[in-house]
Amino acid sequence: MSLRDALAIPSSQITDEAVYRERRRLLAAFALTPALGLSGCAEAEPPAPRSLPAASPEQMKAGFRTDEVLTRYEDITTYNNFYEFGTDKSDPSRAERTLRTSPWTVAVGGACAKPGKLSLEDLIKGLAPQERIYRLRCVEGWSMVIPWLGVPLADVLKRFEPTSKAKYVAFTTLADRKQMPGLAYPSINWPYREGLRIDEAMHPLTLLATGLYGKSLPQQNGAPLRLVVPWKYGFKSIKSIIAITFVERRPLTSWNDLQPSEYGFFSNVNPSVDHPRWSQKTERRIAGTGSKLFVDRIPTRLFNGYGDQVASLYAGMSLRLWF
């Protein structure tokens, strides 16, 4: 693994003291020696730890970290939903590495003063990658605990100076048949699209992830850039983003468009609002050891356990009506 991989940012950006210290901390946390990182040798890596050094009380309070057992790297990277690479959980990790993640361009436009088409490097320039350990709850009833690397979406969006007409933010995934074999099947009306209300997009928990477990994102997890919204069902966390658009009206989103009675626009995790075809009261946590993928069923929590941080966004709204 290269040092760039370990940091999920270009080495040209490792300039200031803060980034340097963050780098040292990440390397230490994931027990990667700089020597191993720099040599790029093929030595087997030590298994990644299942928990990380204790977070500060501030990080815990903000929801940026959890001390739950981490899902194994191999499970996070082989049990995936990424229909652009097939609809089975194992399809995305088994697919050929056809996604060209560099150069990668993101078009940011719509209701903002400074629209632009930027390289990924320029999009996140100067923003130090932060480590966030989040629960991910899929609408299908399973969940993981994932150590992401990324930058707050708000820090990126502010650079484009959204106007007062920017009430929502729309996101689009790449849709290229040559790079994504799943596009040959009409499982979804391609491209995959998602959206957030502007206050959700600007919330400090909302992350643009560039890595996980201290390495850059693998193809199957949405390389090189994906959204992570930990209090919403996993399908809101759109992968391999090529466009971000500020809009005045609620944008079309793929799962809501496909089956509006089953997948709402908000899709906040909520154990009291069942999916029409199954209960959402519990979830199967993927945190097993050995050949075991799941641990026992655990209760699902309102807003996926991030209520202290996000409940105020929905004050006065019926969560049943606006599911």
Query: Using CB under 5 A as the criterion, which residues of the chain lie in contact with Mo ion when the complex forms?
Result: 81, 138, 234-235
Is 173 among the annotated ligand-binding positions?
A: yes
Is 238 among the annotated ligand-binding positions?
A: yes
Which residues, at least 6 apart from 153, have a Cβ–Cβ distance to it below 8 Å? 201, 202, 206, 207, 208, 227
Task: Choose between 81 and 216: whose C-beta lies nearer to Mo ion.
Answer: 81
> Which range of residues in 81-89, 93-101, 106-114, 307-315 is near ligand MTE by CB under 6 A?
81-89
Site for ligand MTE contains 83 (CB under 6 A): yes
Looking at the chain, list the stretches that DSSP marks H as alpha helix, in order from N- to C-terminal side.
3-7, 17-29, 34-39, 57-62, 73-76, 91-94, 120-123, 153-158, 198-201, 254-258, 307-310
Distance from C-alpha of 93 to C-alpha of 216, rounded to nearest angstrom: 15
Site for ligand MTE contains 190 (CB under 6 A): no
Residue 230 binds which entry of ligand MTE, Mo ion, none, with Cβ cut-offs from 5 to 8 Å by kind?
none
Which tokens go with 264? 């709402």
Contact residue for ligand MTE among 210, 221, 253, 309 (CB under 6 A): 221
Number of residues that bind ligand MTE (CB under 6 A): 17
Q: What is the smallest separation between the CB atom of 38 and ligand MTE, expressed in angstroms?
A: 28
Residue with tokens 């996993």: 234
Which tokens go with 24? 């040292």
Which residues, at least 6 apart from 243, have a Cβ–Cβ distance to it below 8 Å? 106, 107, 108, 109, 170, 171, 172
Q: What is the smallest separation between the CB atom of 239 and ligand MTE, expressed in angstroms?
A: 4
Task: Choose between 85 and 111: whose C-beta lies nearer to ligand MTE.
Answer: 85
Which tokens go with 286? 């993927």
Is 80 among the annotated ligand-binding positions?
A: yes
Task: Choose between 23 and 135: whose C-beta lies nearer to ligand MTE.
Answer: 135
Annotated binding site: 80, 83-84, 138, 173, 221, 226, 237-239
Annotated binding site for Mo-molybdopterin: 80, 83-84, 138, 173, 221, 226, 237-239
